[in-house]
Amino acid sequence: MKTLIPILLVSTAMTGAAFADDLRATALEQFKPLPSTVPNVADNPTSPEKVDLGRALFFDPRLSASGVFSCYSCHNLTTGGDDNLETSIGHGWQKGPRNSPTVLNSVLNEAQFWDGRADDLKAQAKGPIQAGVEMANTPENVVVTLNSMPDYVAMFGTAFADDAEPVSFDNMARAIESFEATLITPAPFDAYLNGDDTALNDDEKAGLALFIDKGCSSCHSGVNVGGHGYYPFGLVEKPGADILPVGDKGRFKVTETVDDEYVFRAAPLRNVTVTAPYFHSGKVWDLKVAVQIMAESQLGEELSDTETDQIVAFLGTLEGAVPPVTLPTLPAETASTPRPTAEVK
């Protein structure tokens, strides 16, 4: 775990070009603009065929036992790549344990899920499909489902031409990862990092300076302004049990190390303005309140109203453009496609 060191105290009295260049230079030490091309994914070389297959799978409700939920249900691309719910509602109207994180730019996170228990998106994609409170399906039933539709068999055959058995649960996950890797959302902050001074207004720049100065960027840094590194929620002061429920010990469940109790991956903050409610518990709807809670619990800082507003203004510059996604037409079921079941086991 990193120690919290306020890396640079930006003088907010600095003005003009020198300030602008200094702020950008400092920002570039902590953050990275999004790449201009689809990121390469380890062990999963992309191809247009794989992306097309992944898009189809991402939207396919038949990956769930009930036929009601697809990846898109909780990672809705029209509303910031998440579902805007406290925690997701899944199979049998069950509530999931944690807030659904955005799929946008998620390929650039160091690890997936709030506790980082999946190394990458292809590991992540297999989780919700099998979770009893989410899509409640089994790998076996998924493979039977996919094999029952000749168009899917053909698409897998093309996307995984070198595989002896192209249709598999693993290849399903690989294709979904390839599609999700395309969901990169360049934002005004990227334009700023890339050299465009006009991309951020004065309040947003002041917010950026505060974000660094106060120490937020000690954890929320890198290309996704977070999404890597693990930190206790309540490093300085534990928030209330409404926001940090005692039953969810975070990364402790992954590592079984006492030090990891209530430890979570620092949330990636791109598109945070459109992914309320906040925190793994999804209990806070107001971004301003979320920023104040973070400052107090993680940094022991009491932010003024203006400071909070400026940080929120800066966070707004992380809201990017979702690439155009055209809905696929999915393969039709056949007589051998397993029937959906709403039954809760």
User: Which position among 49, 86, 110, 134 bears the catalytic label?
Assistant: 134
- Is 79 an interacting residue with respect to a copy of itself (CB under 8 A)? yes
Q: How far is the CB of 209 from a copy of itself (least distance, A)?
A: 25
Determine whether the annotation assigns residue 14 to a binding site.
no
- Is 286 an interacting residue with respect to a copy of itself (CB under 8 A)? yes
Q: Which of 37, 78, 198, 304 binds a copy of itself (CB under 8 A)?
A: 78
- Whether 256 is catalytic is no
Neighbours of 70 (CB within 10 A): 21
Q: Kindly determine how many residues on this chain lie close enough to bind a copy of itself according to the rule CB under 8 A.
A: 41
Q: Which of 8, 14, 12, 2 is nearest to 27 (CA)?
A: 8
What values do phi and psi take at 315, rounded to 5? -60, -30
- Is 179 an interacting residue with respect to a copy of itself (CB under 8 A)? no
Q: Where are the alpha helices (DSSP H) in 79-198?
A: 121-124, 126-130, 139-147, 150-159, 169-180, 188-193
Determine whether the annotation assigns residue 294 to a binding site.
yes
Residue placing its CB nearer to a copy of itself in the complex, 74 or 311 = 74
The token pair at 310 is 């400026």
| Sequence-distant (≥ 6) Cβ neighbours of residue 272 within 8 angstroms | 278, 287, 315, 318, 319
For the chain, what's the residue count? 345
- Is 186 an interacting residue with respect to a copy of itself (CB under 8 A)? no
The CB-side HSE value for 203 (13 A sphere, CA atoms) comes to 12
Q: Which of 1, 95, 138, 236 binds a copy of itself (CB under 8 A)?
A: 95
14: left (phi over 0), alpha (psi -120 to 50) or beta: beta
Burial of 334 (0-12, 13-18, 19+ CB in 10 A): exposed
Q: Which of 248, 268, 264, 313 is nearest to 287 (CA)?
A: 313
- Is 322 an interacting residue with respect to a copy of itself (CB under 8 A)? yes
Q: Which of 252, 255, 333, 338 binds a copy of itself (CB under 8 A)?
A: 333
- Is 131 an interacting residue with respect to a copy of itself (CB under 8 A)? no
Q: Would you tell me which residues interact with a copy of itself (CB under 8 A)?
A: 56, 59-62, 66-68, 73, 76-80, 83-85, 89, 92-93, 95, 273-274, 276, 285-286, 321-322, 324-330, 332-333, 335, 339-340, 342
Residues at the binding site for heme c are 71, 74-75, 91, 216, 219-220, 294
Residues noted as catalytic: 134
Residues at the binding site are 71, 74-75, 91, 216, 219-220, 294
